[in-house]
A and B are shown apart, each in its own frame.
Chain A
Amino acid sequence: MTLLLDLALVAWLLALALHIARVRDDRNAIVAFIGFGLLLGLGWTRLASLDVALTEAAIGGGVTGVLLLRAEAHLRPGKASGASVSHGGKTLAAIACAMVAAGLALAVLAFPSPAPTLAPAAATALPSTGLGNPVTAVLLAYRALDTLLEKVVLILALIGVWSLAPDHLWGGAPSLRPDVVPEPLAYLAQTLPPFGVLIAVYMFWVGADAPGGTFQGGTVLAAMWLLVMLARLRPAPETRRRSVRLVLIGGPTLFLAIGFLGFAMAGGFLAYPESIAKPLIVGIEAALTLSIAATLGLLVAGPAQTAPGR
């Protein structure tokens, strides 16, 4: 029975991907991509990766979908039926891509057996972190350096996006520019955020012991913020505001500071003393959740579009 479900999921994923590749209209492709992201989230549950499933549904389907839909609306006036690649070139590309896919498929079929795994090592060290969710332990303890660098990548991407504003708009506020705010949207933006914030805090909190965590909680927070901005209940903040920048770098800075503290307290960068490992990790996660929410929201909001007020 579950095989049937797996096959149906795989068939739908491939059908949607082909649809995205072939359909003429960009908006149609993006809506298909959002559906693809949600189905992929279901696929991740079938791979027993609930943390990834939550992240994929929230970021892959949700936030990326909003970003792409807004971009499509921005670009719509200039739809040109641009000359596409020549037929021969397309065939050549198709053959090359099929070869890449076939190579990967062969690699999948030739996976060594028994599979190499770090699960036993992760399980042995889990008690010393005080956590119950091995994925959170990998993200914030065993491979904390990766997570720290990833936060830096997020900030760099945001700086890149901001720097695309014309010079005289630097430091101004991005604008989500809805032409009309329909009443139901305004109503949703007034009723949903309290529940959304509660769910985000819950996801972050259970992340220590169950599927969930900073990324998922942060994304839900970002979604609530975007909803409020889209309904024009609150404008997007000016990017030069000190409070905005403090929230953005607060998480990574705390992470880095505790990392250096590790030299003094536990003999290494990003090492936690065992007795207070869990409070330290949860503290870092709390700051990171806020930073991620702010970064994701501002990445979707885009570069500044109004000049900074004096």
Chain B
Amino acid sequence: MAPADAFTLLFVTAGAILFLAGTLGLLRFPDTLSRLHALSKADNLGLGLIVIGLLPQCDSVTAGLKLVCVWLLAQLSAATASQLIAGAVYRRKSGP
């Protein structure tokens, strides 16, 4: 196996395991905030590891840049979504 492929295998597997752990947390944790915590871990770190793992497989620099952009955009949307959900929980708790 070429070293690039071994690198990919290692990182993508690690990312997939993080996603699995995040999903388990999403299903098993008791309240919304800790579930959000599990979810954002999987989103940020898991997706990041998968993107790093896929970088050696890109044929061109632009393809790699696109992958990194996908990760950054997913980060932005995941961060916003978790904040919005957490805000809704907070308002519901303190509201009428």
Tell whether, in the assembled complex, residue A185 and residue B84 are in contact, meaning their CB atoms are under 8 Å apart. yes
The reply on B57 being an interface residue by CB < 8 A is: no
Tell whether, in the assembled complex, residue B84 and residue A191 are in contact, meaning their CB atoms are under 8 Å apart. no
Residues from chain A with Cβ under 8 Å of B84 in the complex: 182, 184-185
- Count class of interface residues, chain B: under 10
- Count class of interface residues, chain A: under 10
Mask of A168-183 contacts with B, CB within 8 angstroms, 1/0: 0000000000001010
Cα separation A191 to B91 with both chains bound (whole Å): 25
The reply on B76 being an interface residue by CB < 8 A is: yes
Cα separation A192 to B78 with both chains bound (whole Å): 13
The reply on B73 being an interface residue by CB < 8 A is: yes
The reply on B32 being an interface residue by CB < 8 A is: no
The reply on A187 being an interface residue by CB < 8 A is: yes
Near B by CB (< 8 A), chain A positions 179-232 give 180, 182, 184-185, 187-188, 191-192, 195
Residues from chain A with Cβ under 8 Å of B76 in the complex: 188, 191-192
Tell whether, in the assembled complex, residue A184 and residue B80 are in contact, meaning their CB atoms are under 8 Å apart. yes
Mask of B58-96 contacts with A, CB within 8 angstroms, 1/0: 000000000000000100110110011001000100000
Tell whether, in the assembled complex, residue B73 and residue A188 are in contact, meaning their CB atoms are under 8 Å apart. no
Q: Is the interface of A mostly helix, strand, loop or mixed?
A: helix
Mask of A9-28 contacts with B, CB within 8 angstroms, 1/0: 00000000000000000000
Residues from chain B with Cβ under 8 Å of A188 in the complex: 76-77, 80
Nearest chain A residue, comparing its CB with the CB of B90: A182
Cα separation A195 to B70 with both chains bound (whole Å): 11
Nearest chain B residue, comparing its CB with the CB of A189: B80
Cα separation A192 to B80 with both chains bound (whole Å): 11
Tell whether, in the assembled complex, residue B83 and residue A182 are in contact, meaning their CB atoms are under 8 Å apart. yes
Query: Shortest distance in angstroms between A81's beta carbon and chain B's nearest beta carbon?
Result: 24
Tell whether, in the assembled complex, residue B83 and residue A184 are in contact, meaning their CB atoms are under 8 Å apart. yes
Residues from chain B with Cβ under 8 Å of A180 in the complex: 91
Residues from chain A with Cβ under 8 Å of B87 in the complex: 182, 184
Query: Shortest distance in angstroms between B26's beta carbon and chain A's nearest beta carbon?
Result: 13
Nearest chain A residue, comparing its CB with the CB of B87: A182
Nearest chain B residue, comparing its CB with the CB of A188: B80
Interface centre among A180, A182, A187, A195 (most CB of B within 10 A): A182
Tell whether, in the assembled complex, residue B73 and residue A187 are in contact, meaning their CB atoms are under 8 Å apart. no
Cα separation A195 to B77 with both chains bound (whole Å): 13
**Can you list 17 A-B pairs with a CB-CB distance of less than 8 A?**
A180-B91, A182-B83, A182-B84, A182-B87, A184-B79, A184-B80, A184-B84, A184-B87, A185-B80, A185-B84, A187-B80, A188-B76, A188-B77, A188-B80, A191-B76, A192-B76, A195-B73
4 smallest CB-CB distances across A and B, nearest first, come from: A184-B83, A188-B80, A184-B80, A182-B87
